Each structure stands twice: as structure tokens, then as C-alpha cells.
Structure 1
Amino acid sequence: MEWTGARYADQPTVEVGTRIDAPPGRVWDLVSDIRLMPDLSAELQSVEWLDGATAPGVGARFVGRSRHESLGEWETTSYVVECEPHRAFAWAVGDPAHPSALWRFALEEAGGGTELTQWMRMGPGRSGLSFAIDRMPEKEQKIVFVRLREFERSMTDTLTAVRKLAERTEGTQA
């Protein structure tokens, strides 16, 4: 990853991927189930659909509550901005036109299995990280670097958990 010197305004990104021995439909069922995500994340504590939504669809909203040792607790509203079953699921945190972050799962069929990628971009809208940068502007690059590394580790853990769930479920159906 090339994060050295990245500033928040640069809208830095992180991407991780894994191969899963399960078809895209099974993997899709897991990554598009926002209620499952808190079980796979140390930071995300709870998620719930808003406005009566019960499943992902472009324009659907959900609220997430998170906790981080250094950043405290916070709540965000996200908007589904891409929803193509078995292919892609993406959401913007905050204002979809100017999000504080954009997150995306991409699925690709690969020889009876699935190549799963999770990607995220910081900004361009302000986030909780912006307040830390405001307090210590001389440390912005380090703050961004550390947070990107945290995201990379968390995303890797999430994909590992999705892979284990998808493969275990596939194995029990045989």
C-alpha cells in the first residue's frame, strides 16, 4: 500500500482481497447482510436499516454505531450507492454526494468460487478523523497512515471471517 505522505484531502484508499471456495451468491448473502457486520468487526458495534428498509437497495439508509479506543464512540448514517446482487455492494457514509468515506465489496466468479474484494476511500467529507487532524495538523500524515493501516487490518479480518462463514456453510450443504 502506498500511504506514505497521504493527507486526508488526497482521499486515500485501501483495498484487500481473498479467494473464497463458495459461489458469489453465497458470498453476496453474507456481505450484503449489514446486520452480520458487527459480528465481524471489532469497531462496528451495531447496524440497523432505516426508513423501513429490510434489505440493500440503492438509496436505502442504515445507521451504524462504532467504538474505537482512541476515537471514542460515534454513530453514522450511510446510504447504499451501489447494489448489484452477486457483484457489488457499496455505501457512502454521511452525505452521498460528499461522504466521509465510501466502502465497497466487489465479487467476481472465479472457477466455482468467488474473488472477494473490500475497498474503502477516506473523504472527501469530514469524519471523526478530521477532528484529530484539526487538533494536531502537523501529524496529519501519521494520523492518516495509522488509520489506513487499521482499516487494512480490519478489512482483512472481515474478509477472513466472510470466507470462513461462506466455506463452512457451503461444506454443510453438501
Structure 2
Amino acid sequence: MEWTGARYADKPTVEVRTWIDAPPDRVWPLVSDIGLMPDLSDELQSVEWLDGAEEPAVGARFLGRNKHRALGEWQTTSHVVECVPGTVFAWAVGTPADPAAVWRFRLEPRDGGTELTQWMQLGPGRSGLSMAIDRMPDKEQKIVFVRLRELECGITATLEKIKERAEA
């Protein structure tokens, strides 16, 4: 796992990796199926493609509904910004030019299986976290740290569930 950034303006990131005893072509359908993601996440409640899209492709959009005990409930529109089947799937939350977050799965063949990395970046666009920072600017670093820690735990759990399914 790896973290960067302490302030929201620094576009802090979290990255977690795992090795899966399955080839990328078995892992890819799990990471690219947005409909599966709510089963793998405590925060993400539902996801649906928009504009008639049915699968990931650069420019496709999807609506996500989220729930968090401290942040409440919200929904976002995400745009697929990278999609190379078997290799990378990434999306920007909100406007791609100024996203509230960017998420990415990267798959690499390694040692007869797949090294799966999930990475995410907060900001630079405004998000619910920005509102918390606006209310308590003197606590920005703590707010960012706590959120990065939550995201790290969530990503770790998601990768473990993907690993279990891919190796089953």
C-alpha cells in the first residue's frame, strides 16, 4: 500500500496491490463489471450505466450511489477515462477535467497470475470532503488522513473479494 499527499490540494492518493492466482483474462471481467462493485464495497450502494452504455469504454458514463456513516448519502456521475481490456480500467468522478476523485484498476501478468492494483486520487475537484475541510480548515490534514485510511481499508477489502472470486 502507498499513500501520497497530506492536503486536499496535493491530490492525495492511495494504492493497494495484491497478487491473484488467475490470469488477467479471468480478473478483468471482475474489475470491469461496474454492476458487481456494490457487492465488493461497503460504501458503494448501486451503479448503473448512463446514455445507453452497457460496458466500459472511454467516454462512457455511469451513476453511482454511495452511503457513509459520517458523510451521509450521495450520488455521482463518473466518466470512464481509460479502458484497455485486460490491462486498465479507470474513471473520473465528476468532470474529467476537474474530478472529485479518480479511480483505477491496473492488471499485470506476474508469476503465472495477475498483479492487481487499485489506485485512487482525491481531487482536485470539490467533493463532500471539501465541505468538511471548509467547515474545519485547521483540521484539513487530519480529515484527509482519516479519509485516506478509510479508502485504503475499503480498497484492501475490495481487492480481497476480487481475489477470492477470481481464484474460485
- TM above 0.5: yes
- Percent of matched pairs sharing the same residue: 71
One-letter code aligned to 1:43? E
Corresponding residue for 1:137? Answer: 137
**Unaligned segments of structure 2, at least 5 residues:** none
Deviations 1:110-160 (A, max 9, x none): 132100000000100000100000111111000000000000000000000
Runs of 4+ in structure 1 over 2 Å off: none
TM-score calculated relative to the size of structure 1: 0.94
Structure 1 counterpart SS, 2:62: strand
- Range with bigger deviation, 90-99 or 5-14: 5-14
Alignment of 1:2-151 (within 5 A): 2=3, 6-151=6-151
RMSD, matched Cα: 0.9
Q: Distance in 1 between matches of 2:3 and 2:156?
A: 17
One-letter code aligned to 1:30? L
Between Structure 1 and Structure 2, whose CA radius of gyration is higher?
1
Corresponding residue for 1:171? Answer: none
One-letter code aligned to 1:144? V
Q: Distance in 1 between matches of 2:3 and 2:163?
A: 26
Q: Distance in 2 between matches of 1:141 and 1:15?
A: 19
**Unaligned segments of structure 1, at least 5 residues:** 169-174
Displacement of 1:2 in angstroms is: 4.8
Structure 1 counterpart SS, 2:34: coil
TM-score calculated relative to the size of structure 2: 0.97
Structure 2 counterpart SS, 1:166: helix
